[in-house]
Amino acid sequence: MPYWNEKAETMPREELEKLQGQKLRKLCKYVYDRVEFYKKKFDELGIKPDDIKSAEDITKLPLTFKTDLRDHYPFGMNAVPLEEIVRIHASSGTTGKPTVVSYTRKDIEDWTELMARTVSAPGITRKDIIQNAYGYGLFTGGLGFHYGAERVGATVIPISGGNTERQLMIMQDFGSTVLTCTPSYALYIAEYAKKKGIDVSSLSLKKAICGAEPWSDNLRKTIEESLNIDAYDIYGLSEIYGPGVSVECEEKNGMHIWEDFFIVETLDKETYEPVGEGEEGVLAFTTLEKTGIPLIRYITYDISKITKEKCACGRTCCRMAKVSGRADDMLIVRGINVFPSQIESALMEIPGMAGYYQIIIDRDIIDSLLVQVELTEKTFSDKMSVLEKFQKEIETKLYNVLQVKANVELVGPGTLPRTEGKAKHVIDKRTKNI
Ligand code: DLL
**C-alpha span between 342 and 357 (Å, rounded):** 13
Look at residue 152 and give its three-state secondary structure: helix
Residue 354 has pLDDT above 90, yes or no: no
Does 214 contact ligand 1 (Cβ within 6 A)? yes
Topology match between the domains 1-328 and 330-428: no
Confidence of residue 342 (pLDDT cuts 50, 70, 90): confident
Report the atom number in ligand 1 closest to the C-alpha of 233.
Answer: 26
Q: If you average pLDDT over every residue of the chain, what do you get?
A: 95
Query: Considering the chain, what percentage of its residues have pLDDT values greater than 70?
Result: 98
What is the tens place of the pLDDT at every residue in 151-207? 999 999 999 999 999 999 999 999 999 999 999 999 999 999 999 999 999 999 999
CA of 49 to the centre of ligand 1 (A): 31
**C-alpha span between 95 and 126 (Å, rounded):** 40
What is the tens place of the pLDDT at every residue in 97-135? 899 999 999 999 999 999 999 999 999 999 999 999 999
Please name the amino acid found at residue 48: K
CA of 138 to the centre of ligand 1 (A): 14
What is the tens place of the pLDDT at every residue in 290-323? 999 999 999 999 999 999 999 999 999 999 999 9
**C-alpha span between 139 and 135 (Å, rounded):** 6
Contact 123, 207 (CB under 8 A): yes
Does 323 contact ligand 1 (Cβ within 6 A)? yes
pLDDT score, position 434 = 37
Residue 308's CB is within 10 A of a number of other CB atoms, namely: 14
Residue 256 has pLDDT above 90, yes or no: yes
Residue 110 sits at φ, ψ, to 5 deg, of -65, -40
Does 340 contact ligand 1 (Cβ within 6 A)? no
Average confidence (pLDDT) over 385-412: 94
What is the tens place of the pLDDT at every residue in 222-236? 999 999 999 999 999
Does 237 contact ligand 1 (Cβ within 6 A)? yes
CA of 236 to the centre of ligand 1 (A): 5
Does 91 contact ligand 1 (Cβ within 6 A)? yes
CA of 159 to the centre of ligand 1 (A): 20
pLDDT score, position 366 = 87
> What is the separation of C-alpha 60 from the centre of its chain, rounded to a whole number of angstroms?
28
Residue 46 has pLDDT above 70, yes or no: yes
Pairs from 217-222 (Cβ < 8 Å, separation ≥ 24): 217/322, 217/345, 218/344, 218/345, 218/348, 218/349, 219/183, 219/187, 219/344, 219/348, 219/355, 220/183, 221/348, 222/187, 222/190, 222/348, 222/355
Average confidence (pLDDT) over 342-360: 89
Which residue puts its alpha carbon closest to atom 10 of ligand 1?
Answer: 91
Does 300 contact ligand 1 (Cβ within 6 A)? yes
Average confidence (pLDDT) over 251-276: 97
Q: 215 in the Ramachandran plot: left (φ > 0), alpha (ψ -120 to 50) or beta?
A: beta
Q: In b/e form, how buried is each residue of 253-264, taking b as 16+ CB within 10 angstroms?
A: ebbbbbbbbbbb
Q: How far is CA 147 from CA 97, 110, 115, 140, 393, in A?
A: 27, 11, 7, 11, 47
Does 211 contact ligand 1 (Cβ within 6 A)? yes
CATH 3.30.70.560 fits 330-428, yes or no: no
Contact 129, 154 (CB under 8 A): yes
Q: Identify the weakest region by mean pLDDT among 86-90, 181-185, 333-337.
A: 333-337
CA of 67 to the centre of ligand 1 (A): 18
pLDDT score, position 433 = 42
Bridge partner residues of 176 (DSSP):
none
CA of 51 to the centre of ligand 1 (A): 33
**What's domain 1-328's architecture?**
3-Layer(aba) Sandwich (3.40)
What is the tens place of the pLDDT at every residue in 128-152? 999 999 999 999 999 999 999 999 9
**C-alpha span between 160 and 167 (Å, rounded):** 9
**C-alpha span between 62 and 45 (Å, rounded):** 8
Contact 233, 211 (CB under 8 A): yes
pTM for the model = 0.91
Q: Identify the weakest region by mean pLDDT among 22-31, 109-118, 198-207, 364-373.
A: 364-373
Residue 72 has pLDDT above 80, yes or no: yes
CA of 390 to the centre of ligand 1 (A): 33
CA of 302 to the centre of ligand 1 (A): 9
Which residue puts its alpha carbon closest to atom 29 of ligand 1?
Answer: 237
Residue 408 has pLDDT above 90, yes or no: yes
**C-alpha span between 114 and 135 (Å, rounded):** 19
Domain locations in the chain as residue ranges? 1-328, 330-428
pLDDT score, position 334 = 86
Tell me if the bond preceding 74 is cis, omega within 30° of 0.
yes
